[in-house]
């Protein structure tokens, strides 16, 4: 299994995945709530939207905006089971175990922390 850092290097080579960045309001939200709360939200989203074996709206369950974790999910190809399968060879139609869920949350949070530490990556206001 690749590390979060190795995955991020690969993702940065993708024009689509590398186009996602936190906007000013996303950064403000993270600063207001704190990383622990954002990580809790990430765990909830992964458990509820990605972990089940069957997802009725797979491929459409993660909005493109509205929460920093949603942006991170698209940037890291953790937005749907199709992307998880394509990028990380996670089988579809099999419930994600706790270890897999934690690896996804770790990747999401690593991406968010990198974005927060990089003032150049600020996306447009929204």
How confident is the model over 94-121, as pLDDT tens digits? 999 999 999 999 999 999 999 999 866 5
Cα gap 31→76, rounded to integer Å: 21
Residue 93: HSE in the Cβ half-sphere, 13 Å Cα cutoff? 0
Rounded distance between C-alpha atoms, residue 7 and residue 87, angstroms:
9
Q: Are 47 and 101 in contact (CB under 8 A)?
A: yes
What separation in angstroms does the CA of 114 have from each of 4, 54, 88? 11, 32, 20
Q: Is 32 helix (H, G, I), strand (E, B) or coil?
A: helix
pLDDT tens track for 2-61? 888 899 999 999 999 999 999 999 999 999 999 999 999 999 999 999 999 998 888 888
């Amino acid at each position: 299994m690749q590390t979060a850092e190795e995955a991020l290097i690969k993702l940065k080579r993708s024009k689509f995945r590398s186009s996602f960045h936190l906007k000013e309001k996303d950064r403000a939200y993270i600063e207001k709530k704190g990383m622990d709360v954002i990580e809790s939200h990430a765990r909830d989203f992964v458990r509820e939207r990605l972990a089940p074996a069957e997802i009725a709206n797979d491929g459409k369950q993660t909005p493109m905006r509205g929460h920093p974790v949603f942006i991170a999910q698209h940037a890291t190809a953790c937005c749907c089971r199709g992307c998880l399968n394509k990028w990380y060879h996670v089988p579809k139609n099999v419930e994600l175990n706790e270890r897999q869920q934690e690896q996804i949350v770790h990747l999401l949070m690593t991406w968010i922390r990198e974005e927060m530490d990089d003032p150049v990556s600020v996306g447009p206001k929204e």
